[in-house]
């Protein structure tokens, strides 16, 4: 387990949240075996939630489920649903059915599965652009749509995972920026359409989060030194920062918040450039 990107019981005993905040709740998380969404899941589970994590890679998804379950010493706390591609609505429907068979309900949805690579516009093939749009945007749509019936029953809450790239132009990230802009739009649209059903829909937009695959690929090792000049709060973000905001959004404290993109980036995007 990567301890830099993992929570432990101190999150409950020394943290800001009540230990049983999410007791009886169930989360459905795509990308839950990845870095950011995994720690989001850890936080929910440490606060009493059960979770299903959905991923493409069987070994990775099952290992993550086992490790997150281990945090609460309950091997049934997290269900791994592997060999699922968010681009397939049918596979997402099946994953939702398996989750409900196991846990009986879905209260929280994190649509976090994402694909990314660095590529300039001149070399970006139409299929490469489409692949990222399909994983990030269509995948988010499929996730929310497959969960809709359960969210109606639970009056639940959806959290999409966006970015800040599309607030300005970030070189070599046109495909991702376009997809994330669509995700923001989708989150706002669902807030308006599903609000009357008691369902909240929000987005979280992480900034530069330390020790993540995305940041390593995008910025390389030199990024850390440059960051202080670019981030008003004078530090890179942590996966815990994203997890804390996730807990807030799903908590009753945020019950009047919907259609919001919560930017968690230390104030970085206000400087108007990523690098
Ligand atoms: C240019 C590339 C490329 C690259 C793939 N392609 N990698 N083009 N540069 N590095 C092109 C291929 O040539 C092909 O186009 C098309 O993309 C589809 O490639 P496939 O490999 O067939 O697609 P697929 O197997 O579906 O893989 C999707 C993927 C891959 C996005 C390309 O990287 C992936 O599965 N990633 C998931 C994991 C991941 O990326 N996680 C990071 C998330 S971090 P042609 O024309 O040849 O057919 C994140 C946060 C960002 O998103 C924040 C950063 C700070």
What is the CA(75)–ligand 1 centre distance, in A?
A: 33
CA 151 – ligand 1 centroid, Å? 31
Q: What is the pLDDT along the chain (275 residues), one digit of tens a residue?
A: 677 789 988 888 888 999 999 999 999 999 999 999 999 999 999 999 999 999 999 999 999 999 999 999 999 999 999 999 999 999 999 999 999 999 999 999 999 999 999 999 999 999 999 999 999 999 999 999 999 999 999 999 999 999 998 998 889 999 999 999 999 999 999 999 999 999 999 999 999 998 887 777 777 767 777 777 789 999 999 999 999 999 999 999 999 999 999 999 999 988 877 66
If one residue of 131, 166, 220 were mutated to test the ligand 1 pocket, choosing by the most ligand atoms within 8 A of its CB, it would be: 131
Which residue owns the Cα nearest ligand 1 atom 9? 119
Q: For ligand 1, which residues put their CB under 6 angstroms from it? A: 114-117, 119, 125, 127-128, 131-132, 135, 163, 213-215, 218
- What's the alpha-carbon Rg for the chain, to the nearest Å? 18
Residues carrying an active site annotation:
162, 180
State pTM to two decimals. 0.95
Nearest CA to ligand 1 atom 5: 128
Ligand 1 atom nearest 87 alpha carbon: 26
The string of DSSP codes covering the chain is: --GGG---THHHHSSSS-TTTTTT-EEEEETTTSSHHHHHHHHHHHTT-EEEEE-S-HHHHHHHHHHHHHHTT-TTSEEEE-S--TT-HHHHHHHHHHHHHHHS---EEEE---------GGG--HHHHHHHIIIIIIHHHHHHHHHHHHHHHHT-EEEEE--SGGGS--TT-HHHHHHHHHHHHHHHHHHHHHGGGT-EEEEEEE-SBTT-HHHHHHH-TTHHHHHHHH-TTSS-B-HHHHHHHHHHHHSGGGTT--S-EEEESTTGGGGS---
User: Which residue's alpha carbon is nearest to atom 41 within ligand 1?
Assistant: 115
């Amino acid at each position: 387990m990567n301890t830099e990107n993992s929570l432990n019981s101190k999150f409950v005993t020394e943290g800001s949240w009540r230990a049983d905040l999410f007791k009886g709740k169930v989360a459905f998380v795509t990308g839950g075996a990845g870095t950011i969404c995994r720690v989001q899941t850890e936080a929910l589970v440490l606060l009493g939630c059960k979770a299903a994590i959905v991923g493409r890679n069987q070994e990775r998804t099952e290992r993550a489920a086992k490790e997150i379950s281990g945090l609460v010493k309950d091997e049934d706390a997290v269900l791994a649903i592997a060999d699922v591609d968010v681009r397939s609505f049918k596979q997402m429907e099946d994953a939702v059915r398996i989750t409900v068979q196991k846990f009986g309900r879905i209260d929280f949805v994190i649509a976090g599965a994402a694909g990314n690579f660095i590529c300039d516009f001149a070399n970006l093939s139409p299929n490469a652009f489409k692949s990222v749009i399909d994983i990030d945007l269509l995948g988010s749509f499929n996730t929310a749509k497959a969960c809709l019936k359960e969210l109606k029953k639970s009056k639940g809450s959806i959290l999409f995972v966006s970015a800040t790239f599309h607030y300005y132009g970030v070189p070599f990230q046109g495909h991702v920026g376009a997809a994330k802009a669509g995700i923001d739009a989708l989150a706002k649209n669902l807030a308006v359409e599903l609000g009357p059903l008691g369902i909240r829909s929000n987005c979280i937009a992480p900034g530069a989060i330390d020790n993540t695959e995305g940041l390593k690929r995008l910025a390389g090792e030199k990024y850390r030194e440059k960051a202080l000049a670019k981030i008003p709060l004078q530090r890179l973000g942590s996966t815990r920062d994203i997890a804390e905001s996730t807990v807030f959004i799903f908590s009753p404290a945020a019950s009047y918040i919907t259609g919001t993109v919560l930017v968690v980036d230390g104030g970085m995007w206000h400087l108007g450039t990523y690098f």
